[in-house]
Chains A and B, each alone.
Chain A
Amino acid sequence: MKNRLILYTVLLAMTFSSCQRLDLEPKGILGETELFGNEFGVKKYFTALYNYLPIEDFVYYGNNNSSAYRPGNFWEACKFSQGNASGEFFNTWVGPTNGGFGYWPYDRIREVNLFINNFPTYKSNFSVATYNSLLGEASFLRAFFYSGLAKRYGGVPIIKEVQDPTADKATLEVPRNTEYDTWKFIYTDLKFAMDNMSATSERGRANKYVAAALMSRTMLYAGSIAKYTQYIGLGSEKAVQDGFAGIDPAKANELFQYAEDAGKFVIAGPYSLYNKEADKGLNFANLFLDISSPENIFIKDYDRTAPQNTRLQHSYDALMSPVPDFSSNVGTESFPPFDFMELYGMTPYVNPDGTPVRFNNRSDIKNGMEPRLRGTMYFDGDVLRGKTFGMQRGIYQTYTGTAADAQAGSNVAPINSTVIAGKTNRILGVRNSTTVVNGVTLPITAAHGSFEDGNAENNGFGAAFMRKYINTAVPVSDVNLYLSGQHWIVFRLGEVILNTAEAQYELGKRTEAFANIALIRTRAGATPAPAIDQTLINTGSINKVNTYPYSLEKSLQFIRDERERELYGENHWWWDLRRWRIQDQVLLNFRPRMLSCYFVANEGKYIYLDETNRLNRTWTASRASVYEPIPAGEIAKNSKLLPNNPLY
């Protein structure tokens, strides 16, 4: 009895005391104090945000419905890439899409807002410099998310507070801000970041120069939108009238000025154009592979040795070079059109009398080619992973006449279809095939570019292959899906110089702009830029048959082209076309061309002919694609997001 009484007493004591201990913070979960209260916690918190930044890199593809920036089946990124969807590359099936994927990162913005809101509580834990820098970094992250929104939708709701999910429905339904206010909000956040962040940071994290680089890009976008939206005839649309899509042209100079200022700030910073190699072509190619490049302002790291399924690898190498010589799986999914090679100025391949130039070797087409183009694409005779590229489209038994007689490669052109000695004058074939002409066995095609079917889809639709970002250091056996680890350069000095030059030209500072262009062209090994020419034109350099809805100075078009020459394949082209408001003209029945090499049998020489792409594919971007529609699901939740963007 006595024992039992003791037992009960002990039990009673235990039940009373146990509740106190359960009030302790759980040790397995990091709470706000752990995350915001010290530098390492903040780093951990920011890591997740960096992971979700809207960076259009190797794995991004805009028609992936779930999340284009962190897609599931991301090996497909290189075939559905933004470049393929916007005509910068071509392959067999991908066309322009503009439905968007419903990008709406307010969950991440909320996380940033939570930090900005609550971090001041822990101010005493940090030195002033560290505290300011971290707060600046948060502003940079928020601006980056908003820039992903603004370039798609124009004006979006600006949420600076941490919303309470249980609050009144009316306060949670935030209407759109104007496009000007949205870009201006990005400006304010980035200005704060530039003023408060430290000058250096560990790799993959932002500092004040990274913030300035983003400022340079975003304000250039905003300035162009302000200047050119007036010309596209959408003034009757409610979203335009209310300022949600488009900006008052009077604001253009203000925004261009921000871009110039930010650009100059970066140019004066600790970066320099990559110039480690004497061979300018190799130098340009290495710029994208050398992780220690002094040109890198901000990069996104990948690591081929990291555990699989971590999204820390990509498949760029396996999907940009032909199988089996350079890749062990899939093979090329993106071919560069001739239209873009032409931007660099090609070696003459047509004589003044209209006849094709005769070359002794296929690779003679590279003679006199701008080194930057050689650093951007692989041509016949170039070596990768111990093998040599060979690209030949076919044989002409004889070629008498002009280049135009081939009618862009048409099968019905007489020079192609005439039968001589039992064979058509133009002979095509599958990979590495041969034929006998006048008793001599000749190769019709080579191992890579431009052969007829027989796995051509992943090997031979174009007449050049991508070199930019191709990692030369790995053996072919290691070039496979999810095995590429080269970093993506988010911002580099070259882009900032081009942003600055364009902003300066738009501001009328033509000489300063061309001084910046000269820096780019010298590094590229290109000829000096032509003298400033203020003649007004209204056609561009790609798909010239369609004219712009406005005129611009010839030299401004040169700066735009310089941008594409330097930044080809770096996912700028689509956004540039959109902000210049010409995407529906440049991509109107845009039919990518290819420069095909033929052997002329009776002369023993090679000629190059300008042909349409093999499937006669065209690209047309819709009129509405100047903006993406506000996601329907978000409108269903919040009707104050209306009016929707023009033409939706």
Chain B
Amino acid sequence: MTKHEHIVSSYEEELQSLNNKIAKMGGVAEELLGHSIDALEHRDPLLAERTIGDDKQVDELEREVEELAITMIARRQPMALDLRQIMAAIRISSDLERIGDLGKNIAKRALAVAEEDQPKRLVLGLKHIGEIALEQLKDVLDAYIERDADKALRVWYRDEEIDAMYNSIFRELLTYMMEDPRNIGFCTHLLFGAKNIERIGDHATNIAETIYYLVHGTPIPDERPKGDVTSTMPADMTHAAKSKPRKKSK
């Protein structure tokens, strides 16, 4: 990273503005995700409604980032670090926009289950995975602001935790459904909610990869951790529940 500023101060200001927009967008996405999980946990339709509305802000910010980035490419013909900063802003904003969408989807599910009165313990797993995802998002945004590639790398490695937790929630919810078929509707919503959170974790790792590239100019020299094994999990859960999750082998 360079210590010096651009000779052209308006260029410097534009880069700063791009930075600020991403920071703001990250803040909104973080809040949106937190609210959507709260709304689902407490079955709070008002909070859910408000959260759904907040996604518009994220979309609007993504549009602004894209517009500014395109204008800068056209006007400044950025090179090296500047070019990487602009490309990173475009990619991160698109990840944040997806995070916003996934958060909105969780809030919609909170609306759908608002009338249900299943026991609270069913939601605990989702709440927990949500907390970790939020932490990941927060850390990766800090890493962006601080241009800290090591911090980004730690987020990248920690995604496995979310994947592992998603696998266990998947099993847990299936167990509840088998226990009592009246749980099926509610648990299905929770399952999709958990899947959304797992995807949010993936977007956080995408952002981590982008930050690493932004700082070093090279991709992370390692395979991305992938821990979600539910898509290959056998349907016979009585059998699967006893066996350990298998690592996907190439």
Instruction: Answer whether A and B are interacting partners.
Output: no
